[in-house]
């Protein structure tokens, strides 16, 4: 089954995300690839949509952040992009206030997660704002740090506006928050598409090839159940999960019920809702450096036990 690559473009307000997006779209067009864009605006008026070229499928989300208040709308818009177009990639430009974990949770719907290939988070850092971050509130400083920590590729933008010595000092503080991500000094968010497409396979300090689960900070794992599991066994499995599993959601069938349950899990707390129709038994797990083989193996063991 053909999958569609998904890239998340993050970074604080004014860092250069839209400039980066325009650079990427130009290169994608030259490469002959079919891509789409999903833009998220905190306000009720589109600011950046006019900057997206003709012929690029575009969906917009207004009046909220996709990481919290309008996640349900995100799922609908993304599903429409995937069903209306034969796409090689989707680029999601988040608001400057978006938290990476919540954004990934928002896009990985169990309905169509199997159709997506999550490639990673590209974070644009405004070096001037990072240099002057002590002037921001503690909450905003924390958000900036989280955006850097969860990135897979970091563009240190506006490098032409700081001295070489300042740039070196700022890179040091950023790499202290994220030792694995590729870090690149840029002007006007100029980066090659090939560099972004390679970000899952190379560390910034060498050419060692890596498995995606060794490198990505945030990983999304999709498992499709073949049958029902016992709820008591499933909840015992939940209690034994590592703390780095942040989110789970999907549909699960229990041995005691005719119809599946909508299941959501957040930082150790599960929640179930009865469904009155058949749904695809997909479950999405989101966390840091998850062992895909181990987790899926454990779930398959639960299914095998229930089938005996």
Domain identity same for 170 and 254: no
Domain identity same for 252 and 154: no
Q: Which of 219-223, 249-253, 285-289 has the lowest mean pLDDT?
A: 285-289
- Beta strands per DSSP E along 146-227: 153-157, 182-185, 218-224
Please tell me the predicted confidence (pLDDT) of residue 208. Answer: 31
How sure is the predictor about 203, in pLDDT bands with cuts at 50, 70 and 90? very low
d(CA 52, CA 15): 18
SS3 52: coil
Structure tokens at 157: 């933008």
Please tell me the predicted confidence (pLDDT) of residue 21. Answer: 93
Range 73-99 average pLDDT: 86
Q: Helix/strand/coil (H, E, C) string of 257-296?
A: CCCCEEEEEECCEEEEEECCCCCCCEEEEEEECCCHHHHH
Domain identity same for 143 and 252: no
Domain identity same for 242 and 127: no
pLDDT at 45 over 70: no
- Give the global pTM: 0.74
Nearest alpha carbon to residue 154 among 135, 179, 128: 179
Q: Which of 55-69, 78-92, 266-280 has the lowest mean pLDDT?
A: 55-69
Range 219-232 average pLDDT: 91
Please tell me the predicted confidence (pLDDT) of residue 112. Answer: 80
CA geometry: angle 96, 99, 101, nearest 5 deg: 150
Domain identity same for 51 and 178: yes
Number of domains into which the chain is organized? 2
Give the tens place of pLDDT for each residue, 204-219: 333 232 233 333 456 7
- Among 215, 233, 263, which residue terminates a domain? 215
Q: What per-residue string of b and e applies to 181-214 under the rule 16 or more CB within 10 Å gives b?
A: bbbbbbeebebebeebeebbeebeeeeeeeeeee
pLDDT at 234 over 70: yes
Structure tokens at 218: 């945030």
Domain identity same for 148 and 285: no
Report the share of the chain in percent with pLDDT over 90: 44
Q: Between these two residues, 198 and 239, which has the higher pLDDT value? A: 239
SS3 15: coil
Domain identity same for 173 and 273: no
Q: Which of 40-49, 73-82, 150-159 has the lowest mean pLDDT?
A: 40-49
Residue range(s) defining the domain that contains residue 46: 4-215
d(CA 256, CA 20): 51
d(CA 112, CA 282): 9
Q: Between these two residues, 72 and 280, which has the higher pLDDT value? A: 280
* C-beta separation of 125 from 184 below 8 A: no
Please tell me the predicted confidence (pLDDT) of residue 106. Answer: 77
Q: Which of 114-123, 166-175, 208-217, 277-286 has the lowest mean pLDDT?
A: 208-217
Please tell me the predicted confidence (pLDDT) of residue 308. Answer: 84
Domain identity same for 226 and 269: yes
Domain identity same for 62 and 181: yes
Read off the CATH number of the domain in which 18 is found: 3.40.50.300
Domain identity same for 246 and 193: no
How sure is the predictor about 110, in pLDDT bands with cuts at 50, 70 and 90? confident
- Among 162, 197, 215, which residue terminates a domain? 215
Q: Between these two residues, 286 and 45, which has the higher pLDDT value? A: 286
Please tell me the predicted confidence (pLDDT) of residue 244. Answer: 81
Range 140-146 average pLDDT: 87
pLDDT at 269 over 60: yes
Please tell me the predicted confidence (pLDDT) of residue 170. Answer: 96
Range 155-180 average pLDDT: 94
How sure is the predictor about 220, in pLDDT bands with cuts at 50, 70 and 90? confident
- Among 172, 190, 215, which residue terminates a domain? 215
Range 129-133 average pLDDT: 92
Domain identity same for 231 and 128: no
Chain centroid to CA 255 = 33
Q: Give the DSSP letter string of 205-257.
A: TS--B--HHHH-SEEEEEEE-SS-B-HHHHHHHHHTS-TTEEEEEEEE-BTT-
d(CA 261, CA 224): 14
* Mean pLDDT of the residues in the chain: 83
Q: Give the DSSP letter string of 134-145.
A: GGS-HHHHHHHH
Read off the CATH number of the domain in which 302 is found: 3.30.1220.10
Please tell me the predicted confidence (pLDDT) of residue 41. Answer: 64
Domain identity same for 276 and 179: no
């Amino acid at each position: 089954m053909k999958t569609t690559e998904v890239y998340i473009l993050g970074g604080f307000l004014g860092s250069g995300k839209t400039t980066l997006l325009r650079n990427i779209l130009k290169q994608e067009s030259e490469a002959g690839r079919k891509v789409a864009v999903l833009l998220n605006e905190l306000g009720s008026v589109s600011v950046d949509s006019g900057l997206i070229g003709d012929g690029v499928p575009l969906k917009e989300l207004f009046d909220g952040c996709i990481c919290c208040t309008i996640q349900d709308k995100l799922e609908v818009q993304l599903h429409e992009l995937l069903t209306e177009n034969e796409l090689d990639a989707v680029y999601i430009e988040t608001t400057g206030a978006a938290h990476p974990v919540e954004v990934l949770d928002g896009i990985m719907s169990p309905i169509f997660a199997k159709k997506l290939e999550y490639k990673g988070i590209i974070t644009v850092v405004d070096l001037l704002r990072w240099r002057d971050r002590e002037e921001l509130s503690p909450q905003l400083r924390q958000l900036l740090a989280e955006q850097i920590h969860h990135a897979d590729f970091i563009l240190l933008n506006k490098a032409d506006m700081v001295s070489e010595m300042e740039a070196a000092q700022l890179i040091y503080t950023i790499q202290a928050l994220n030792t694995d991500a590729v870090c690149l000094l840029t002007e006007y968010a100029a980066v090659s598409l090939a560099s972004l497409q390679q970000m899952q396979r190379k560390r910034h300090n060498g050419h060692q090839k890596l498995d995606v689960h060794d490198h990505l900070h945030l990983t999304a794992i999709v498992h499709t159940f073949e049958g029902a599991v016992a709820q008591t066994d499933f909840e015992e499995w939940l209690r034994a999960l590592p703390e780095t599993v942040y989110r789970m959601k999907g549909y699960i069938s229990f041995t005691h019920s005719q119809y599946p349950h909508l299941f959501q899990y957040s930082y150790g707390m599960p929640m179930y809702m009865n469904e009155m129709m058949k749904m695809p038994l997909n479950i999405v797990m989101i966390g840091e450096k998850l062992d895909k083989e181990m987790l899926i193996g454990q779930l398959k063991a639960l299914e095998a036990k229930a089938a005996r």
